Amino acid sequence: MKLEIDGHRLLAELETLSTFSDAEPPAVTRVVFTPTDLQARAWLISRCDEAGLAVRQDAVGNVFARWSGADPAAPAVGTGSHIDAIPNAGKYDGVVGVLSGLEAMRALQRCGFQPKHSIELLVFATEEPTRFGVGCLGSRLLSGSLTAEAARQLRDRSGESLDEVRQKAGFQGDLESVELPAGYYKAFVELHIEQGPLLERAETPLGIVMKIAAPASLRVSIEGAGGHAGGVLMPDRQDALCSAAELILAVESAARSTGSTDSVATVGICEVFPGAVNSIPSRVRLTVDVRDTDLRRRDGMIEALESALKTVSAKRHVSVLPELLNADAPADCALDVRAALSDSCRRHGLPFLEMVSRAYHDSLFISRIAPTGMLFIPCRNGYSHRPDEYASPEDIARGVLVLAETLATLAA
């Protein structure tokens, strides 16, 4: 089997997909179920049609594009990622995995490969937590990790429910219908940029993921007392933003003090009310993102934060209310998928690192229902979730080659 990867077409597709954006280039913003996201999906589906794949979409907007195998009733081999992009993102996160999956399938078709198991490209809906506060909604529902009932409770910042938004966007049917039947996938492989600097530093073109870190996120609402910035004397203040400042530092110190580089914690949103220069902040809402490869250490950071909440509340006479949005277990990648990936790397003399994914991915949830693996390619300076995110054409092409061979091995 002589695989030829059409890197030029793939790069052109990457550029085209980046033009479906609500931000000035080179930034990309593509929030799920916005008109821009729907246009991007329509364009992508037309590419899948062109490749002769059978496309279906489910009730939450996951897109499946299938190349039927010789035994269509046998479990499929899946690949894919997401195309939604956080505000002010780059053009590679998720998108590289989707377009590489498509190009891998086309390359296998071109060289005359006939799969026994169907090969399916899966474009996950709403991987990013931007709109509904929780990430990976598509894969959570597919894997039964989130019930349809719990999904129906989710609302965006304007108060619209996931159910209303997805139906308005044209995705009908019950959310109950999204969960995949047992044994749907024989295996699943996701290609993704590393979103960290280790491959580049090691001058190694590929990473094979052994484990995906456990993510958790919380919303913390702080309620103090507002008032006139000139009139209220300092001893009388119950400033919600000063309380938030202490909490933000407590989040940072919870992660720094575990002694492990795998512990990370971030406050990425701080909403201040009323937000006037001459008014004491009366209300603040923070979101906290905590991750670790070790579940006990991750939960230890959450406990440290909960204790800081109590201390700050008592010291500053403010009410502090935490709400756990998600707390997910880590995932181990499947040994047979890792072996198929590493065999392909070795066949081509491509060095690889075995590594941990500190970012989460839909593969975290798909690994609960199918043997799952991930292939990383380097990204410049480890940058991701920013407009200057970049992966080189050579690194992308190498990733597609190994992905295609791995799909062929798993689907034979």
Residue 206 binds ligand GLV, judged by CB under 6 A:
no
Residue 331 binds ligand GLV, judged by CB under 6 A:
no
Distance between CA atoms of residues 372 and 375, nearest Å:
10
Query: Using CB atoms, what's the residue nearest to Mn ion?
Result: 94
Q: Would you give the binding string for Mn ion spanning residues 35-74, x where CB under 5 A is met?
A: ----------------------------------------
Comparing CA positions, the residue from 194, 206, 115 lying closest to residue 394 is 206
Contact criterion met (CB below 8 Å) for 399 and 377: yes
Q: Which is nearer to ligand GLV, 199 or 411 (CB)?
A: 199
Q: Would you give the binding string for ligand GLV spanning residues 113-142, x where CB under 6 A is met?
A: ---------------x------x-------
Q: How many helices (H) and strands (E) does the chain have?
A: 12, 17
Q: Which is nearer to ligand GLV, 136 or 244 (CB)?
A: 136
Least distance (Å) between residue 368 CB and ligand GLV: 17
Q: Which is nearer to Mn ion, 239 or 289 (CB)?
A: 289
Binding partner at 360 among Mn ion, ligand GLV, none, C-beta below 5 to 8 Å by kind? ligand GLV
The number of C-alpha atoms within 13 Å of 176 and in the hemisphere containing its C-beta is 2
Distance between CA atoms of residues 212 and 198, nearest Å:
15
Chain CA centroid to CA 216, Å? 13
Least distance (Å) between residue 142 CB and Mn ion: 16
Q: Which is nearer to ligand GLV, 212 or 284 (CB)?
A: 212
Query: Using CB atoms, what's the residue nearest to ligand GLV?
Result: 359
Q: Which is nearer to ligand GLV, 61 or 135 (CB)?
A: 135
Which residues, 6+ apart, have CB-to-CB distance to 116 below 8 Å? 69, 70, 71, 74, 411, 412
Number of residues counted as binding ligand GLV (CB under 6 A): 4
Tokens of 1: 């089997």
Contact criterion met (CB below 8 Å) for 216 and 330: no
Distance between CA atoms of residues 407 and 62, nearest Å:
20
CB atoms within 10 A of CB 316: 17
Q: Which is nearer to Mn ion, 83 or 218 (CB)?
A: 83
Residue 93 binds Mn ion, judged by CB under 5 A:
yes
Binding partner at 64 among Mn ion, ligand GLV, none, C-beta below 5 to 8 Å by kind? none
Choose which of 94, 196, 205, 215 interacts with Mn ion (CB under 5 A).
Answer: 94
Site residues for ligand GLV, 278-297, by CB under 6 A, read none
Number of residues counted as binding Mn ion (CB under 5 A): 2
Least distance (Å) between residue 227 CB and Mn ion: 40
> How would you class 380 by CB atoms within 10 Å of its CB: exposed for 0-12, middle for 13-18, buried for 19 or more?
middle
Least distance (Å) between residue 112 CB and ligand GLV: 37
Q: Which is nearer to ligand GLV, 214 or 407 (CB)?
A: 214
Distance between CA atoms of residues 1 and 311, nearest Å:
64
Binding partner at 389 among ligand GLV, Mn ion, none, C-beta below 5 to 8 Å by kind? none
Q: Which is nearer to ligand GLV, 206 or 359 (CB)?
A: 359
Comparing CA positions, the residue from 41, 369, 376 lying closest to residue 202 is 376
**DSSP string spanning 80-138?**
EEE--EEEEE-S-TTHHHHHHHHHHHHHHHHTT---SS-EEEEEES--SSTTTSSS-HH
Contact criterion met (CB below 8 Å) for 329 and 214: yes
Least distance (Å) between residue 336 CB and ligand GLV: 25
- Residue range at the interface with Mn ion (CB under 5 A); choices 90-98, 117-125, 163-171, 219-227: 90-98
Contact criterion met (CB below 8 Å) for 287 and 217: yes
Least distance (Å) between residue 120 CB and ligand GLV: 22
Q: Prior bond to 235 cis, omega within 30?
A: no
Site residues for ligand GLV, 336-375, by CB under 6 A, read 359-360
Distance between CA atoms of residues 356 and 164, nearest Å:
37
Q: Which is nearer to ligand GLV, 128 or 262 (CB)?
A: 128
Using CB under 5 A as the criterion, which residues of the chain lie in contact with Mn ion when the complex forms? 93-94
Using CB under 6 A as the criterion, which residues of the chain lie in contact with ligand GLV when the complex forms? 128, 135, 359-360
